[in-house]
Amino acid sequence: MKFGRIPVADAEGSLLAHTLKLDNLRLKKGHRITEKDIAALQEHDCKTIVAAQLEANDINENQAATRVAAAIGGQYISAQAAFTGRTNLYADTRGLLVYDRTRLDQLNMVDEAVTVAALSPFTLVEPRQFIATVKIIPYGVASTTVGRTANIAESPEPLFRIATFKPVDVGLIQTRLPGIRDSVLNKTRLTLETRLERLDCQLTIERRCNHDEIAIAEALKELQSQGCKLFLIIGASATADRRDVIPSGIESMGGQILHLGMPVEPGNLLLLAQLDADCPVIGLPGCARSPALNGVDWVIERLLAGLNVSGKEIMCMGAGGFIKGSTKILTTRAHAIEAVAEHDEASHTPKITAIILAAGMSRRMGKVNKLLEPVNNEMMVTKVTRQVLASQVDSVLLVAGHEEDKVRSAVRDKNIKIVTNPDFAKGLSTSLHCGLTYLADDVDAAIICLADMPSVSTSVIDQLIAAFSPEENRLICVPVYQGQRGNPVVLAKRFFSEMNELSGDKGAREFLQKYVDLVCEVEIEDPSILHDIDEPESLLKYKAANN
């Protein structure tokens, strides 16, 4: 890739390195210079610009990011469309993020142009939570570099995966010594129950016994006969040695002591053992009586996610293992989900609803309702809704009005919510108001789609969604083809109330001038974003090209 100051006359196709503001001319960083731009720059007596020019062996930043993301994303992981050389990966389900830290380091050492950042290994993640990001530093990178990076990322298997929790029957043993009150044991059981609940698991059975080897062995035997596959033992006195009471009781049952102690505080005195190959036993340290995060959580999480936990794994937990003073752990799944909703929005995929405006009267089409016309062997409105549903939007809301019953019949997918605009004859803005009224409270943005644009692909919608970023002030995302703006448009929640003040046939375009600093232009290599179907001639032309 070439980078530097180049003559404006030679700049067509290059990527602008810095935003330019010359009187009424404004070109943003990353903008691809067109012939029209060159003329405008020359009118402003601009002789040179700083720009990047891709060479024959280069891959542009978005293509490179997409290739790397595809290589590293394994089971239960999805990637957003790439934008500005970045694509974020997120979890499709609840579980632990699993990857080899050494292989991630090797990947990042291939070339400074390609970077992958991730949450720590074994982080508990929720659906929609961002787990990693791929960022291509320059505007383009050599294809050989991308190939080497992808090879590391996908061999022998994709670098990242989500290990889901697999509930098992859990048995609890609490030992007694003189002076221990039942209230302490009751509280301990409640704490452990909620600790397991956050991992989609339940405590099946509990036994309380004296603090001696024989009583512990008998209790273990009974729990095993009841079908328990994970055993938790919390003693009235902490385990101080492999020959202490709790490990001795386990061994008298034929069990094996795997490890005592862990480099995590709280949690140093954890004991790991097993009765059979698939029946782990955890001797709990006293900190397990507290709801605060401790080493017990790390071990139970991995076991319930079906991951191997040996003495070696435990001994490698020291980095980041000083967690004393951590806040109260999220003890129920409901709390965990609530915390995700309240977490910094940059850590999770924004929730975006598509509003499809399908209430118009097709006045310029004559007697025909264009939305019910067949295109590609299906009605136009059916095709549009199908393509929107296939995108990365979270939900789809369709506003009907003119010939509502026929439109509803054409849109039968149960995942689409259809609402009625009784004022559809008053213009497009009334349908916009109607759609905004029915949006859920937790929506972060809406993408406004027109039902008479059947050529707008799912890929275009995904590119716009990927561009939306509140933390980077990209609050209005509009597609652009060769310098011309089109549809659909993404608008952040903060604009919804102001949009409700629009009247007549005015749409979301009015905001683009008012909030120019918050507008992100997304270059699309498809002219379909410019063309809606309004007249019989345009409908015939579309059918001739696509049917």
Residue-range domain boundaries for the chain: 2-53, 58-163, 170-341, 350-546
Q: Which residues of 393-422 are buried (b: 16+ CB within 10 A; e: fewer)?
A: bbbbbbbbbbbbeebbebbeeeebebbebe
**What topology does CATH give the domain 350-546?**
Spore Coat Polysaccharide Biosynthesis Protein SpsA; Chain A (3.90.550)
**170-341 in CATH: which number?**
3.40.980
Distances from the Cα of 13 to the Cαs of 8, 10, 270, 547, in angstroms? 11, 9, 62, 33
Q: Specify the pLDDT at position 10.
A: 94
Q: Specify the pLDDT at position 516.
A: 84
Distances from the Cα of 388 to the Cαs of 74, 82, 167, 488, 534, in angstroms? 25, 18, 36, 11, 20
Q: 3-class SS at 215?
A: helix
Per-position DSSP letters for 310-362, written without gaps between them: -HHHHHT--TT-B-TTPPBP--SHHHHHHHHHHS-GGGBPPPEEEEEEE----
Per-position DSSP letters for 376-398, written without gaps between them: TTEEHHHHHHHHHHTSS-SEEEE
Structure tokens at 418: 């259809």
The architecture that CATH gives domain 58-163 is Alpha-Beta Complex (3.90)
Distances from the Cα of 533 to the Cαs of 162, 355, 377, in angstroms? 44, 18, 17
Give CA–CA dist 236/230, Å, rounded: 20
**2-53 in CATH: which number?**
3.90.105.10
Q: Specify the pLDDT at position 546.
A: 77
Span 72-107, pLDDT tens digits: 999 999 999 999 999 999 999 999 999 999 999 999
- Find out whether 454 and 388 touch, Cβ atoms under 8 Å: no
Domains 58-163 and 170-341 share a fold: no
Q: Specify the pLDDT at position 332.
A: 55
Question: CB-hemisphere CA count at 13 Å for 3?
Answer: 10
Q: Specify the pLDDT at position 342.
A: 45
Q: Specify the pLDDT at position 508.
A: 53
The gap between the terminal CA atoms of the chain, to the nearest Å, is 41
Divide the 547 residues of the chain into consecutive groups of 10 and give the mean pLDDT of each group.
93 92 87 91 94 93 96 96 94 96 97 97 95 96 97 96 96 94 94 94 96 96 96 94 96 95 95 92 94 94 96 95 71 51 61 95 83 90 96 96 94 92 89 93 95 94 93 90 91 90 59 82 92 87 79
